[in-house]
Amino acid sequence: MPLYGAVEAGGTKFLCAVANEPGALREIRRFETAQVDPGVTMRQVTEYFRAHPGIAAIGVASFGPIDFATGAITSTPKLAWQDFPLRATLERALGVPVALDTDVNGAALGEAMAGAGQGLQNLVYLTIGTGIGGGALVNGALVHGLLHPEMGHMSLRPAPEEVDGFTGVCPFHRNCLEGLASGPAMRARWEVPAEDLPDDHAAWKLEAYYLAQAAVNLSSILSPERIIFGGGVTGRASLLAQVRHETANILNGYLRHPRLLGGMEDYIVAAALPYPALTGAVAMAQRL
Ligand SMILES: [Zn+2]
């Protein structure tokens, strides 16, 4: 059985693992990257994989934006990584093919292979945390385009109760999904961190309304078989039930499928994997 390498590249940490198949990550290592030169991080990653001889290919699920043509990180606010040729650097250092995709596409694929979307060919993975991002699998393939989807920046309709108040934290768009529903948006809106808000706080109904708008938009555009929510904010157990309820309200019975007309427990679900992007990175390597 071939051995694959997997990397989840984040702004504050890189995770590395090896595996024979997506559901079987081994020897997960974490490298802190905040205030660390990219050259140092690349050396740590290279040394990690050199210690596992026989790797056939490596998948990298990375923060972005990413230019898939060049395999480089592009205009990130993490200045040291701007225009960093991530794919070429690893290919040169390790002499194996490297697949590069976004962390959220990686997570979508990971959940499809070994998590909450097993057996599905069409799904969306949305992560709600410090930022909001989404990846999509359509007919079994990860969606790329001119660039790559930026689901966190879809425009939303502010809730009626926002009319004279909060206008969103995204510096580019204000009332996009990330501007209205990310962790920092909740903190700015309610002046306390999301994790300190009790379950019965009005914040959660509003949050569910925004996540439901996203679910409705994604359902309307991509018709996924399931939408999987991950990230810190969705760790709140009662939230997804409210998202299902609000989604049904907005859809108003228009999309006719049993999975959408019932309680939606099988349509809007929580991520099942502890490391979805790292798991997906193994599948990306496998697919090379
Ligand atoms: Zn935005």
Mean pLDDT calculated for residue range 32-38: 91
How far is the centre of ligand 1, averaged over its atoms, from the C-alpha of 157 (Å)? Answer: 13
pLDDT of residue 96: 98
On the CB side of 78, how many CA atoms lie within 13 Å of its CA? 20
* CB half-sphere exposure, 272, CA atoms < 13 A: 16
Alpha carbon distance 49, 66 (integer Å): 23
Q: Is the pLDDT of residue 237 over 90?
A: no
Residue 77 has pLDDT above 90, yes or no: no
The residue behind tokens 């009332």 is 175
In the numeric block, the tokens 């979307």 are attached to 117
Q: How far is the CA of 95 from the centre of ligand 1 (A)?
A: 38
Q: What is the largest CA-CA distance in the chain?
A: 61
Statement: residue 233 has pLDDT above 90: no
Helix extents (H) in 145-200: 177-181, 183-190
Q: What pLDDT does 64 receive?
A: 87
- Between the CA of 29 and the centroid of ligand 1 the distance, in Å, is 32
Residue 5 C-alpha to ligand 1 middle, in angstroms?
Answer: 33
147-180: pLDDT as tens digits: 899 999 999 999 988 866 788 999 999 899 999 9
CB 73 within 8 A of CB 61: no
| Average pLDDT rounded to a whole number, residues 68-91 | 92
CA 177 / ligand 1 centre spacing (Å): 7
User: Model's pTM, two decimal places?
Assistant: 0.96
**pLDDT surpasses 90 at 35:** no
Query: How far, in Å, from the CA of 102 to the mean position of ligand 1?
Result: 18
Q: What is the pLDDT of residue 39?
A: 94
Q: How far apart are the CA of 162 and the centre of ligand 1, in A? A: 17
Distance 191 CA to ligand 1 centre (A): 20
- Sign of the Cα torsion 176, 131, 124, 9 reads positive
d(CA 134, CA 271): 13
Report the share of the chain in percent with pLDDT over 70. 99
Cα 44 to averaged position of ligand 1 atoms, centre (Å) = 33
User: How far, in Å, is the centroid of ligand 1 from the Cα of 209?
Assistant: 17
Ligand 1 centre from 257 Cα, in Å? 31
Confidence of residue 255 (pLDDT cuts 50, 70, 90): very high
Q: What is the pLDDT of residues 106-119, one digit of tens each?
A: 999 999 999 999 99
Mean pLDDT of 15-41: 95
Assess whether pLDDT exceeds 80 at residue 20. yes
**Measured in angstroms, how far is the CA atom of residue 40 from the centroid of ligand 1?**
32
* Predicted local distance difference test score (pLDDT) of residue 247: 97
CA of 128 relative to ligand 1 center, distance in Å: 14
Those residues with Cβ within 8 angstroms of residue 192's Cβ, 6 or more apart along the chain or in another chain = none
Mean pLDDT of the chain: 95
Are 44 and 93 in contact by the 8 Å Cβ rule? The answer is no
Who wins on pLDDT, 35 or 123? 123
Contacts of 237 by beta carbon, 8 Å cutoff, 6+ apart: none
239 — pLDDT class (breaks 50, 70, 90):
very high
Instruction: Please report which confidence band the pLDDT of residue 122 belongs to, taking 50, 70 and 90 as the band edges.
Output: very high
Backbone angles phi, psi at 29, to 5 degrees: -120, 145
pLDDT of residue 121: 98
pLDDT at 34: 86
Centre of ligand 1 from the C-alpha of residue 167, in Å: 12
Token pair of 146 as six digits: 């001119």
Q: What is the pLDDT of residue 244?
A: 97
The average pLDDT across 35-59 equals 96
140 Ramachandran zone, left/alpha/beta (phi>0; psi -120 to 50): left
Question: How far, in Å, from the CA of 150 to the mean position of ligand 1?
Answer: 9
| pLDDT band, residue 206 (cuts 50/70/90) | very high
Q: What DSSP character marks residue 193?
A: -
Interval 203-213 mean pLDDT? 96
Residue-level pLDDT at 79: 85
Closest by Cα among 216, 271, 224, 222 to 248: 216
Both tokens assigned to 283: 């599948």
Write down how long the chain is.
288
| Mean pLDDT in residue range 197-226 | 96
Q: Where are the alpha helices (DSSP H) in the chain?
A: 38-50, 86-94, 103-114, 177-181, 183-190, 202-222, 239-251, 258-261, 276-286
Gap from CA of 180 to ligand 1 centroid (Å): 9
